Amino acid sequence: MHSKPRLSASADTYLGRVGLTVAYPPAAECGYGGFMSSYKTVNPASGETVQEFPSATDAQIQDALKRSHEVFASWRGTPVQERSRILSRVGELYNERKAELAAIITLEMGKPVREAQGEVGLVASIYDYYAKEGPRFLQDEHLDAMGGGEAIVRTEPVGSLVGIMPWNYPYYQVARFAAPNLMLGNTVLLKHAENCPQSALAIEQIFIDAGLPSDAYINIFASKEQIADMIADPRIQGVSLTGSERAGSAVGEVAGRNLKRYVLELGGSDPFIVLDSDDMDATVKAAVAGRMGNAGQACTASKRFIVLEDYYQDFVEKFTARSAALVPGDPSDSATRLGPLSSQQAADSLAEQIDDAVAKGATVHTGGSRVDGPGSYFEPTVLTGVTPDMRAFSEELFGPAAVIYKVGNADEAIELANGSTFGLGGSVFSSDADKAKEVAARLETGMVWVNSVTGTQADLPFGGVKRSGVGRELAKFGMNEFVNKKLIRQPAVKPSKPTS
């Protein structure tokens, strides 16, 4: 049975409620003339195309490369405390504009407004963190070198960088990349996802309003072909991408061929292991939150629930009941906890994966289908009986769909968890924290959380292993990817030999 979403308010009505008018000049006034562009705002709650934006021409891309490269010399020479002051102001502006910024991503990718405001707050904390801690991370490191003398490692920026960011966390993904690198003194050219152009423009405007020098951060509505050419350009020193395995492979290939540094944050199929539980209701509450937040559209969402057999039936029943109680609804309504998927294509892709599993014998405990009506809504879905011949076993399910497995013991749980080609995050739940930590230590992931779903915060490193990516973001590690760790060495002066 298909659940019905609450009626969606129009985008104009909601944006008007928060006092935001999103209006940009038509293409001709921007100097583009007539255009055909894939950059457009399509409201996923209704399927309505709200506004289209012109893509950059090749000449404009070349101009952006030139400006970014030229401003690097002055930006890297800007005193650290001034860079810190600007980033601090960026964080303040995110907090001041929280309602406006949240409304934009609710409109563009369907994030429930409460979650959208939470994302904006997280972003503000990231800029504030690097504003406060960045100067410390940039201090020279003195080495105790053999042979005496002085040895210093200096952290220096490398130049202009390209960022390629996705739609699922439009502000947060950019902040993870931009905040540490602007603090370093690098400059940034940012290609955002094609379905959130208004988010991209809002980000750029905040940097301008915070006093960042012109061209230190440039938003570009570029094509995939233009991005490949940009990465190859000698003025670009590195590239960071958050996205799919396919996109990561393409970017890594171009970067490697041109000897450019790169950071890739790709997909995930995070295990959520339940070894035991003395409060199954609390465990299931965390599990459903970890799976269904952002409509399941998170690389670090809990996706594979691996439960020891003594607790399996109770977990399945309670997880199913709690998931089924979630009603997809209007993301601009503060009461909504499950919004639409980001696009019709996203909903279609998830439906194909679930249909494949069902056709091959998987059991659907609740959901399993798109919601009838306008928009890209999908029912919260719970699957069991998923086997290796099904797409749902090996592919990332990017939506509100959970797969639950039964295992006999902790070793089987670890084997199943590590059997994935992904290795981003994971969770281990047990009433015995030491036992949970022992299992966590054996997981092949970049991050593991004990008795908690995978989370994120400015002062903790973020990244994965295997096909989940290369490199780390956030914390001090986020300032160590696109840097020149320059050694300055002055050996000890040897005493001169006396003359006879």
List, in sequence order, every residue forming a beta bridge with 150; answer none if it has no partner: 490
List, in sequence order, every residue forming a beta bridge with 363; answer none if it has no partner: 384
| Model pLDDT, residue 21 | 35
Tell me how many degrees the CA angle 54-55-58 measures, rounded to the nearest 5.
135
Residues 443 and 343 placed together within one structural domain of the fold: yes
Residues 48 and 177 placed together within one structural domain of the fold: yes
| Model pLDDT, residue 198 | 98
Is residue 339 domain-resident? yes
pTM: 0.92
Q: Can you read off the two tokens belonging to residue 418?
A: 């590590």
| Model pLDDT, residue 32 | 28
Mind listing the pLDDT tens digit for each residue in 171-180?
999 999 999 9
Distance CA 308, CA 417 (A): 13
Assign residue 16 the CATH number of its domain. Answer: 3.40.605.10
Is residue 24 domain-resident? yes
- Residue in 133, 194, 196, 299 annotated catalytic: 299
Which residues of the chain, if any, have pLDDT below 50?
1-36
> Residues 145-168, buried b or exposed e (16+ Cβ, 10 A)?
eeeeeebeeebebbbbbbbbbbbb
Residues 397 and 475 placed together within one structural domain of the fold: no
Is residue 256 domain-resident? yes
Is residue 265 among the annotated active site residues? yes
Strand ranges (E), 213-335: 217-219, 236-242, 261-265, 270-274, 302-308
Is residue 490 domain-resident? no
| Model pLDDT, residue 499 | 67
| Model pLDDT, residue 10 | 36
| 276 three-class SS | coil
**Domains identified in the chain, total number:** 2
- CA distances for 433 relative to 270, 312, 429, angstroms: 19, 20, 8
Is residue 299 among the annotated active site residues? yes
Assign residue 388 the CATH number of its domain. Answer: 3.40.309.10
Pick the closest to residue 266 from 283, 252, 282 (CA basis): 252
Residues 261 and 285 placed together within one structural domain of the fold: no
Residues 436 and 478 placed together within one structural domain of the fold: no
- Residue in 265, 379, 473, 481 annotated catalytic: 265
Domain that holds residue 163: 11-266+468-485
Distance CA 448, CA 221 (A): 36
Distance CA 400, CA 380 (A): 5
Residues 289 and 172 placed together within one structural domain of the fold: no
Is residue 461 domain-resident? no
Mind listing the pLDDT tens digit for each residue in 39-78?
999 999 999 999 999 999 999 999 999 999 999 999 999 9
Strand ranges (E), 268-400: 270-274, 302-308, 363-366, 381-384
Is residue 224 domain-resident? yes
